[in-house]
Chains A and B, each alone.
Chain A
């Protein structure tokens, strides 16, 4: 019966919305400052951000070596 399906679907939607409406939220200002402090804490250790010294770069093109 399509009408009972619609009711069942509508009830599922209401239950889902109840769960979502009930969660705890924090202010955007607080959330933003926490995202920022995470970035700041890890800034120095981010190789794509600060670059990697040539000596530690495994992808760097190897120069041909000269045999003396």
Chain B
């Protein structure tokens, strides 16, 4: 709320309450009246249309929702998997764990790849954030956060810094230095401040801006250097659990998912929600854009993953099986968008054929929930993190095509 000062040049009887006050001009149906500041305030919050009551707004909202559904249904002429019948089926995959990263003392909660396709940052319930070289499994950096449950971490595009946060309600940026004498924690910069836990963070195209999602129900865009809030995104009705930025070619949007079962697409410049999808039956734990930017996938506690096409403005696929009853915690696409990797709370990773909607592989190995999963920037491997304290890097060793 900002304080407003008005230039007052009339003093007299208010046209509404008739008290002797300083008056401001006010327009009602293009007729000028003079109201005192109290009556003017009441009028502003009640609305400029006298007959616009709560009831009429609610019924307009209902009719708009109905219209939205109608418009979406008109274009629902076919299912994705039907169109995909003419595509060749994928065969059997052999995906092997090539590296196991051990060193966290508690549940791994989040991980991210560096653009160099080799380094990984991961964060844990024990408060530690570790940077690994995934080729050698060496730990290159480690920092202990002042809080436990570091739920979010991200690598800067330059590879020179990492961001992380969690129960401290903040997102902090640590420059990475190879100077043995320097204490990483000393150079820490607090960037984002939320009023509840930080659930996700991501740098934008540069090291200069960070996008955050929080248990306080909002997302926010921050300037890293000054810590200034550049834009905030309000609309979720509950905790926001995840976010993903659109591939840079497709413009300034991002998608977020929350405990209100909604996935929302936002315009980063205006702060406006441009599209919203509410078909999941429980919390959305993870959202990820399809590589072309025209769609995104989501993973939810309702044990399904779903694909939403942005131009058709609707859900176009559900990835589920009766035998899968545990929530999906994290999802990511392979480079071509044909495969969707999803980590689940039943310790497995299911690999889905995005177009046909069928499962092509199930991967075992973790000894507790899979909490985070990302495909490497060059698409050669994917890494999963788990409550079993480890991270696993896997590659496809064979694909027996049909």
Contacts and interface: CB of A to CB of B under 8 A. Distances in A.
Give chain A's interface secondary structure class.
helix
A39 B380 contact: no
A30 B316 CA distance: 12
Contact of A35 (B53, B72, B355): B355
Contact of B78 (A6, A10, A29, A34): A29
B395 A52 contact: yes
B1 interface: no
Contacts of B139: none
Contacts of B42: 4
B61 A38 contact: no
Given A38-B336, A39-B337, A48-B380, A29 B83 contact: yes
B393 interface: yes
B8 interface: no
B94 to A, nearest CB: 8
Contact of B64 (A21, A59, A60): A21
Contact of B71 (A25, A28, A57): A25
Contacts of B380: 47-48, 52, 57-59
A63 to B, nearest CB: 15
B396 interface: yes
Contacts of A23: 274-275, 313
Interface string B319-356: 00000000000000011111100000000000000110
B294 A31 contact: yes
Contacts of B309: 28, 31-32, 35
A8 B45 contact: yes
A6 to B, nearest CB: 6
Interface in B26-60: 42, 45-47, 52-54, 57-58, 60
Given A3-B54, A59-B135, A27 B312 contact: yes
Interface of A: 1, 3-4, 6-8, 10-11, 13-14, 16-21, 23, 25-36, 38-43, 45-52, 57-61
5 contacts: A25-B75, A28-B77, A32-B80, A42-B336, A51-B396
